[in-house]
Amino acid sequence: MATILDKILTRTRTDLAAREATVPQSRQEALAATTPPARDFTGALRPENRDEGTPLALIAEVKRASPSAGPIAEAADPVGVATIYDAAGAQCVSVLTDGPFFGGSLDDLKAVRSAIDRPVLRKDFIVSRYQLAEARAAGADAVLLIAECLPGDELAVLHAAAGEYGLHTLIELYEPENMPRVAALAAAAPERTSIGVNNRDLRTFTVDLEHSLKLVADCPAGVTFVSESGIRTRKEIDRLAAAGVGAVLIGETLMRAPDSAAKVRELVGG
């Protein structure tokens, strides 16, 4: 049975081919080369760059909709949301740029990047070098690479290519069997790589925080471990922090909060 991830990847490849036919790779490369340097996404998550008493770092996500939740905040203004995250003290901002399944766009990312001074992550399903050039050309400071989407040496190839563009990488995994190759890549480039474990099983959409609590033990020293998805309460965050989780990636809880600044402070405030 085709999982949601299979469906997303099929669509991603179709849309990518269309973009490549309109704006050639060479053009994206040229745009990327003239984009102001990337901000230090990986460094921003480190403990020395957080206020005293903050349990861990926050990557706050701009997310209008998702396959698991349906519409979340379809009319949300990405710049307005990101500005609130920034002012409330999130260390980094993640912007979904997938259109068909998450209602996002590269224009959202561009607008957010120029409105705030925090590092910005392009959250998408990256399967080719073209998308890396495109990310940097749009101003992204970091990209998500998903181990389950990049079998064999594809993950290592794109991770190296991201480095060439000056992009930092958040490497995500769900399947524990992917941890060894993810950990090896991160340990070899800890200044530009973090590891994220998704708590959401993309086959069933079930969320289980225990998933990252189990895998944090396998994170190499000096690499920030990010727990992703389904995080709702300060209690959960304190528990993750106590287990050695260095950062959390939160979308839905913040997007749905009537006062997202207050929610940021409640979740990660000192």
Ligand X SMILES: O=P(O)(O)OC[C@@H](O)[C@@H](O)c1c[nH]c2ccccc12
Chain residues binding ligand X by CB under 6 A are 61, 63, 123, 172, 198, 228-231, 249-253
CB of 198 closer than 8 Å to CB of 205: no
Nearer to ligand X, 103 or 230 (CB): 230
* Token code pair at residue 26: 């060479």
CB of 150 closer than 8 Å to CB of 133: no
CB of 104 closer than 8 Å to CB of 98: yes
Nearer to ligand X, 36 or 70 (CB): 70
Nearer to ligand X, 183 or 249 (CB): 249
Nearer to ligand X, 9 or 189 (CB): 9
Rounded to the nearest angstrom, the gap between the alpha carbon of residue 40 and the centroid of all alpha carbons in its chain is 14
Q: How far is the CB of 163 from ligand X (least distance, A)?
A: 21
Residue 8 to residues 15, 146, 185, 201, 249: CA-CA distances in angstroms?
11, 13, 25, 15, 21
Count of residues making up the chain: 270
Nearer to ligand X, 27 or 214 (CB): 214
CA distance 44 to 6: 33
CB of 193 closer than 8 Å to CB of 159: yes
